[in-house]
Amino acid sequence: MKNLDFVTGKIKKPYLENSARELAKKIFGDFMLYRRVPRVGDECANENCEQCTSMHLEKIISAVVSNEAVTFVLPAFPGKSPNPEKVLGPLPDFAEELSLKFLNGLCEKIKTYYEPGVKIIICSDGRVFSDVVGMREHHVTEYQMRLDEMITELSLSDISTFNLDHVFSDLNFSQMRDELMKKHGKSLEFLQHKIRSGNDNQGTVDEQEANRMFRGMTRFMLEDSTFKGQTKSRAALQKLAKAKAYEVIRRSNAWSELIAEHFPYAVRLSIHPQACGGKKLGLRLVGNESWMTPWHGVALETRNGFVLMKRAEAEALNAELIFFSDGRPSHFKLQDEKEILLGGF
Going across the sheet that includes 305-309, the strands are: 305-309, 298-302, 329-333, 320-323
| Span 242-285, pLDDT tens digits | 999 999 999 999 999 999 999 999 999 999 888 777 788 999 99
* Residue type at 276 in one-letter notation: C
Where do the structural domains in the chain lie, given as residue ranges?
A: 4-333
Cα separation, 184 vs 197, whole angstroms: 22
Q: Does 124 or 227 have the greater pLDDT score? A: 124
Percent residues over pLDDT 90 in the chain: 64
Contact 118, 175 (CB under 8 A): no
pLDDT at 176: 97
| Span 201-212, pLDDT tens digits | 778 878 888 888
Closest CA to 70 of 29, 36, 100: 29
Cα separation, 286 vs 187, whole angstroms: 34
pTM of the model: 0.87
